[in-house]
Structure 1
């Protein structure tokens, strides 16, 4: 079972992945790709998101990762950030970058069984700080929700599940999907 937990920043991904891993130690946890890039980035930009997209795609290669894994973020997250930057007129990069990022995302998702989306909702109880680039956060959330409906990006293999609710409800929903698929 290969699970990717996706959502904009400050949407509860780390908490959900951590809670799930504690109860399911047989799963390998792949951390947020941001933890694996050069920490000198001081603000969101296309180069940062493109680097994270590549990392998140490469680590989903079945030859490079465990059979049972839960990944915090996948390439679709960073494709959504690139499109959101473009929409906010912050220069996401070239059309070629967006096209190549879409292709990388599509190919990587072929190796994912379940794509969990954590959309922003009022009931999640998450209060982001002002330093969380709130405009980009909201724009990425909207783009991500659009992308999951695009068969040309998602393909027909991956099961897409939107999970909302408080911390306990989200964990229960993820467990139901993971256990339901494997058990």
Structure 2
């Protein structure tokens, strides 16, 4: 059983991964691709500053690890913090808000880079080189790699609009804390899972949407994979 938890940032994905793994310690946990790459001294930009290089690296990391899990340890259950599809919505955001193909200047959202060592793109008129052609390349990378077939389930955590369910934004020293950024990316994830993925690859993998408090999310995930 190979699972990925997917969705916009600051929605409790990592918390769900840890809670589920604590309840089912036989599952091997794969951390966010960002954290795995930073551990290898890679520099990863977010938001409107994201680059083709950054988002390609994270997509490839997610592809490689799930395919290796399927091929090299097929009997080991795995839960992943993020799927290989997660960097398409973030690339759409970077194109819209940070590239020369994006929205008119007055319509662009701006985020604050909270990491002191990642300030070099501040003030740039077009801090991202992500364009429509690159986003199509990401789709091709994912579909041609057959990584989606390596997931038994992708669990998507959407924003619900319910204050008692949606986690509050907190400054963890890494992620931007603008609510509009999280909401824009969430809308792109909803478009991805409800429309784009079924149109591009309808048989790729099973996707379920999960919401609720921490215990409810774990129970919903258990039910989705037949462990409840």
Verify same fold: TM over 0.5: yes
Runs of 5+ consecutive residues of structure 2 not aligned to the other structure? 100-127
Matched, 1:113 2:152: yes
Secondary structure class of the residue paired with 1:110: helix
Secondary structure class of the residue paired with 1:55: helix
1:19-98 alignment to 2 at 5 Å?
A: 19-38=19-38, 40-41=43-44, 43-44=46-47, 45-46=50-51, 47-61=53-67, 62-64=70-72, 66-67=74-75, 68-90=77-99, 91=128, 93-98=130-135
State the distance in 1 between where 2:224 and 2:129 align: 34
1:118-133 alignment to 2 at 5 Å?
A: 118-121=157-160, 122=162, 123-129=164-170, 131-133=176-178
Give the superposed CA RMSD: 2.2
Bigger proportion of residues as helix: 1
State the distance in 2 between where 1:154 and 1:128 align: 33
- Runs of 4+, deviation exceeding 3 Å: 38-44, 64-67, 89-92, 152-155
TM-score by length of 1: 0.87
Runs of 5+ consecutive residues of structure 1 not aligned to the other structure? none
TM-score by length of 2: 0.71
| Map of 1:161 onto structure 2 | 208
User: Does the CA-based 8 Å contact 2:95-2:131 persist in structure 1?
Assistant: no
Structure with the greater alpha carbon radius of gyration: 2
State the distance in 1 between where 2:211 and 2:129 align: 29
Deviation at 1:94, TM superposition (A): 3.1
What is the number of equivalent residue pairs in this alignment?
181
User: Does the CA-based 8 Å contact 1:7-1:144 persist in structure 2?
Assistant: yes
